[in-house]
């Protein structure tokens, strides 16, 4: 029997998140700048002769059946390629759950990539991303990783130049937010403040960390921060302690700040840790990929 396959499923933050409109099918059209960070879950895959999928996690409240995206990703590949062997999968969670960091999506992305490796299927990345979008709009990005412009419902991806060297402070409060709830309560009107996504793309091509940080914005904050003032309070603490800027990621409630040094980020982590709402802090690097220069208008994978 083949050796177990160990994979890192990296989380993401949204450097910019704009919602353009609500579509007739109920989905929201978005424009986002996505960034992978080096906070990851560990996914372990192993073949077995049972013909079944076995799933276990280190968190007792996570489902270990078809309600789990990892289970469903494994099942899709097994069915599509007529795989008779069973698969045992272990999910060791480190990314906060329901935190706006695509924890479930990145685990599923790792399962798709891992199944491809485990059974030597030679599936292209484009095809894996096609499978991924059937389970969730963030999964294709989590397969691709790095810095990217995300459009449509999140499935249209354009690779961007890597974020210049920096450190992230990631802070998870002790409460969670439902993405569905946030989008259902989002109001888009003339008063909505939209982040400068195009300006952020230009700043990335100019390799300007200050240019990226100064344009950070998230339309969904207007919903989450109304219910949880701690979002704004944590952002302020980060900026007061040296962050170039701070923002809520995704639909929240995770808040992150960008810092030019690890020491400053760790100092801010200590300050945030004193806030009564904070459950966890992490200081990590961005996960970057080297990409050739290309036009921001070009579509990527």
Active site residues: 12, 138
Question: What's the mean pLDDT in 124-146?
Answer: 96
Question: Is the model's pLDDT at 288 over the cut of 80?
Answer: yes
Question: Is the model's pLDDT at 301 over the cut of 80?
Answer: no
Question: Is the model's pLDDT at 246 over the cut of 70?
Answer: yes
Region for 268 from its dihedrals, namely left if φ exceeds 0, alpha if ψ lies in -120 to 50, beta otherwise: alpha
Question: Is the model's pLDDT at 293 over the cut of 60?
Answer: no
pLDDT value of residue 298: 34
Q: For the segment 167-190, what is each residue's pLDDT rounded down to a tens digit?
A: 999 999 999 888 888 888 888 887
Cα–Cα nearest to 228, from 100, 105, 137: 100
Question: Is the model's pLDDT at 291 over the cut of 70?
Answer: no
pLDDT value of residue 138: 93
pLDDT value of residue 275: 98
pLDDT value of residue 195: 94
Question: What's the mean pLDDT in 222-238?
Answer: 94
Q: For the segment 77-92, what is each residue's pLDDT rounded down to a tens digit?
A: 999 999 999 999 999 9
Q: How far is CA 128 from each of CA 11, 96, 106, 136, 211, rounded to the nearest angstrom?
A: 18, 25, 13, 12, 33
| Phi and psi angles of residue 14, each rounded to the nearest 5 degrees, phi first | -100, 110
Question: Is the model's pLDDT at 271 over the cut of 80?
Answer: yes
């Amino acid at each position: 029997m083949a050796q177990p396959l160990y994979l890192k499923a990296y989380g993401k933050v949204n450097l910019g998140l704009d919602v353009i409109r609500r579509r007739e099918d109920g989905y929201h059209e978005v424009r986002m700048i996505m960034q992978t960070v080096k906070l990851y879950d560990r996914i372990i895959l192993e073949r077995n002769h049972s013909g079944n999928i076995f799933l276990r996690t280190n968190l007792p409240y996570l489902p270990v059946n078809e309600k789990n995206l990892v289970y469903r990703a494994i099942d899709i590949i097994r069915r599509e390629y007529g795989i008779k062997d069973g698969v045992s999968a272990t999910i060791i969670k480190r990314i906060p759950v329901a935190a706006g960091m695509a924890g479930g999506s990145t685990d599923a992305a790792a399962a798709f990539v891992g199944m491809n490796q485990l059974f030597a299927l030679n599936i292209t990345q484009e095809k894996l991303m096609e499978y991924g979008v059937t389970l969730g709009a963030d999964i294709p990005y989590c397969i691709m990783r790095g810095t990217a412009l995300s459009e449509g419902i999140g499935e249209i991806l354009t690779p961007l130049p890597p974020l210049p060297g920096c450190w992230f402070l990631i802070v998870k409060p002790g409460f969670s937010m439902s993405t569905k709830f946030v989008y259902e309560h989002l109001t888009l009107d003339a008063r909505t403040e939209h982040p400068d996504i195009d300006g952020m793309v230009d700043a990335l091509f100019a390799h300007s960390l200050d240019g990226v940080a100064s344009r950070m914005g998230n339309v969904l904050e207007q919903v989450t921060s109304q219910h949880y003032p701690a979002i704004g309070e944590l952002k302020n603490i980060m900026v007061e302690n040296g962050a170039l800027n701070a923002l809520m990621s995704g639909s929240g409630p995770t808040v992150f700040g960008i810092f030019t040094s690890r020491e400053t980020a760790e100092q801010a982590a200590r300050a945030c840790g004193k806030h009564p709402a904070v459950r966890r802090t992490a200081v990590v690097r961005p996960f970057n990929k080297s990409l050739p220069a290309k036009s921001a208008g070009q579509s990527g994978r």
